[in-house]
Chains A and B, each alone.
Chain A
Amino acid sequence: MTSSPFDTFPRDLLPELLYVSSGEDKGDDVNFAIGIRGVDGMAERQRLFELLLAWVTQERCQEILGAPCLVVPFPKVQVVNVVALGLLTRERFDKQGKGLGRGFLELAKKSLAAAS
């Protein structure tokens, strides 16, 4: 069985606790913002955000997306913003990257399901 970067996705980050959006109509780079939702209590939200931030590294995103990435955290709103540089130059269908973020979460979801 081949390994995937998602094999190490934190088990506490259940898919229903995350939301994501992506899309770009102004060029070749595309970003997606992953946030924490549906969690009561700031402390727990912050704990999950820190788990997410520790996992969403530039190197890991680059490995998953095959493009150089920037990762910019926004701790006050518990969002991690990932920018994939030049990724849209090679997209044939999803030319605005609108499915990128959801696709990313789907891979995490599959990994969590496989591990449980």
Chain B
Amino acid sequence: MVATWAEIHGVYGFLGDQLYKGMVDAVFSSGVGGYLVADYLSEDTFQIMKTKLRREHFFETFLENMLESVVARGMYDRRLKMVCNAGALDPLGCARKLANHLQGLGIPLRVAAVTGDNLTDRLDELGELRHISSGEPMPGKYRRRLTSVSAYIGAKEATQALAEGADIVVAGRMTDAGLALACAAHAHGWSYGGDVHRLAAGVLAGQLLSCGGQCVRPVELAGSDPAAVGGLIYPTAWVSEEGRIRVSSPSGATRESVLSHLFYGISQREFIDPDVTVDLGDVEVESLSLAEVEVRGVRGLPRPEKLRVLILCSGDSVTLKGMLQVPLSDFRALGTDGFRRLIGARLRGGGSLVADEGIDVEHLGDTHRTSSIFLSIRFGQKVYAKIGRGQLPSLLVSGINGGYAGMPRIEHETIIWDALVARSLVEPHLQVAHMTEDLGDPTDLRSQGGNR
């Protein structure tokens, strides 16, 4: 019996990833009926995309770089489907833009959005939001400085959208690992109440495809060909109906590269996803060739009772960061503590409110005549950070005979507050919204490809 495999290409590793070649490689090398997954969101991305203007900008980036005419046509002709979490806080807005964009190109790919994971306007319904590690209730001051609240959701609704005919599914805070699970479950007709081991294989495939090409890059650059690393091709995961995983890339894949990324961000024996808990303890990894690695022994455990929510808030402070180059002899004479006191005195002399204890000076290294130092200065208010930044040039002219090694910038502290909420607070609100009219059922060409 020939195994049936879902062919899932990783094409996008983060917001702003513009490896256009990756998308082209995937679309034009994929068999008919393959899938593309585009992982967009780190936790910090929500802070970047907190305003409508910024969201619009990044949605445009996504559309322009990833779905121009030739690529979209290639997707359509090959009956490829894509699942992405590009929507962040506004999957519906992103999906609408995408549908309009495709309409403008004259390519009838059908777009759907998964909505309901953005809980920002429902904060009062979510209870104390105790921290996932400390158990402390979320402080009131964070509630007043809220940027966003999003639930990490699983793949069920995205699979539903695919089954209902969507070619591209735009989700929000859907887990990166869930993107591949949605595709594998759709390809094989898996049930979300069914075999947990298969669901676990879908999730682990998603973990391996996340973050672009991490699972196929060399574990170290020593001994590697720089041009080959520069030309790395994002990986493809093949997930069999019974739950085996093969990861490949034409630019190479090793057991070590796959294992390195398999453990990315793993803090225990289990990898917890909303749809299933993956037990990594019995996983085995074997190299099949220079370009392909097999992962076996993936075991699933029941899904977690609660859903994790990501809460982003503005913190108490702002930080001024920069790098300076100073004469080696001066640095040796004063040391980091002397420089700290010098900088503090100058900033206070310029009107900035800062304590020496809020100033970190780190020595990065020396050339034969200069020392490089990194400055990190915490202020209670932005106005003082701005004044402080204004004083640094003065310090470099009339104090230290040095210069910038990197322009100083002001960073606002962002608090990431992780909590758990009952599924009943989220799941009834999850919905699939189809953007385009049903354009008919294209001939199913999957039987001509997708097997290996």
Residues on A lying within 8 angstroms of B by beta carbon are: 19-21, 23-27, 29, 31, 33, 35, 37, 70, 72, 74, 76-77, 79, 81, 83, 92-93, 102
Contacts and interface: CB of A to CB of B under 8 A. Distances in A.
A94 B299 CA distance: 34
Interface stretch (B154-162, B227-235, B278-286): B278-286
B259 to A, nearest CB: 6
Contact of A35 (B43, B256, B282): B256
A50 to B, nearest CB: 17
B374 A25 contact: no
Contacts of B280: 74
Given A35-B256, A74-B281, A21 B265 contact: no
A93 B256 contact: no
Contacts of A92: 360, 362, 374, 376
Secondary structure dominating the interface of B:
loop
Contacts of A26: 42-43, 265, 416
A31 B285 contact: no
B195 interface: no
A76 B281 CA distance: 7
B283 A35 contact: no
25 contacts: A19-B219, A19-B220, A20-B219, A20-B260, A21-B264, A23-B265, A25-B44, A26-B42, A26-B416, A27-B418, A29-B267, A31-B263, A31-B266, A31-B267, A35-B259, A35-B260, A70-B267, A74-B269, A74-B280, A76-B284, A77-B284, A77-B285, A81-B267, A83-B267, A92-B376
A92 B282 CA distance: 37
Contact of B261 (A20, A21, A31, A76): A21
Contact of A33 (B263, B282, B376, B416): B263
Contacts of A74: 263, 269, 280-281, 283
A76 B297 contact: yes
B259 A33 contact: yes
A37 B297 CA distance: 20
B268 interface: yes
B410 to A, nearest CB: 15
Interface in B188-232: 219-220
A49 B271 CA distance: 22
A52 B143 CA distance: 45
A23 B374 CA distance: 21
B266 A81 contact: yes
